[in-house]
Structure 1
Amino acid sequence: MEGDVKLELETESPPEKPQKHDSDAADLKQGTDYAEEKEIQSSNLETAMSVIGDRLSWEQKAKQGREKELAKVTIKKEDLELIKTEMEISLAAVERSLREHMGNVVEALVTLTN
């Protein structure tokens, strides 16, 4: 096989076409990606708003419950007037403090002076 000659056959491959960028497809993909991202953000926002709404509702109910409990506390009108006059504090602040401290004048005064 000394005399064998290797023949390489050249096969002609079709000429490569220059790659053409399909701008319409790229624009469509970007638009779709943008829309999907906005949809996800919108969904997350709705979920967050629902959680916030639930929490605010719970806090509001707790606050209303607390106010009902405070309204049940009996306070003496004399204690209310004494603290209001001597401390020169609004009637609402004195009443709130007395109710929060179950009518205990000393504790209410300590809170009001701090």
Structure 2
Amino acid sequence: MEVVEEDSKDLQQQSKALDKLTDHVEDRQLNSLRVQEAMASIAASAEADWNAMKMREKELAAVKINPADVDIIANELELDKKVAERTLREHKGDAVAAIRFLLR
């Protein structure tokens, strides 16, 4: 009887050890799945941001501006012409609004 009892205890210990091992592997698989889902979500978000930025740049490029306004803003406020042009485009070509924005 004593041998059978020892074998039974040994089998129980082995079973518990195996359960712990399989639980650990399952947890790692779930964590890996979560990481993959998070990475996919981040990639989709980054792509959406990129597309939104491209659309915004297209909208700004379509705004008609007066080159003389760019020169005046750049010279009077001592700015780079690219900054003056961008600000003017962001304010839909309104030189007064662009200057007010830059002076804030």
TM-score clears 0.5: yes
Structure that is richer in helix per residue: 2
In the other structure, the counterpart of 1:11 is none
Runs of 5+ consecutive residues of structure 1 not aligned to the other structure: 1-13
* Corresponding pairs, count: 101
Residue 35 of structure 1 corresponds to which residue in structure 2?
A: 25
Gaps of 5+ in 2: none
- For 1:17 and 1:47, the matched residues in 2 are separated by 48
Q: Which runs of 4+ in 1 moved over 6 A?
A: none
The 5 A counterparts of 1:63-74 are: 63-74=53-64
Q: Which amino acid aligns with 2:62?
A: K
Equivalents in 2 of 1:46, 1:38: separation in Å?
A: 12
> CA distance change for structure 1 residues 112 and 25 in 2, over 3 Å: closer, same or farther?
same
Alignment-derived partner of residue 16 in structure 2: 26
Q: Which amino acid aligns with 2:47?
A: S
Q: Between the two proteins, what is the percent identity of the paired residues?
A: 32
Q: For the aligned residues, what is the CA RMSD? A: 2.1
Per the TM alignment, residue 75 of structure 1 is displaced from its structure 2 partner at its CA by 1.1
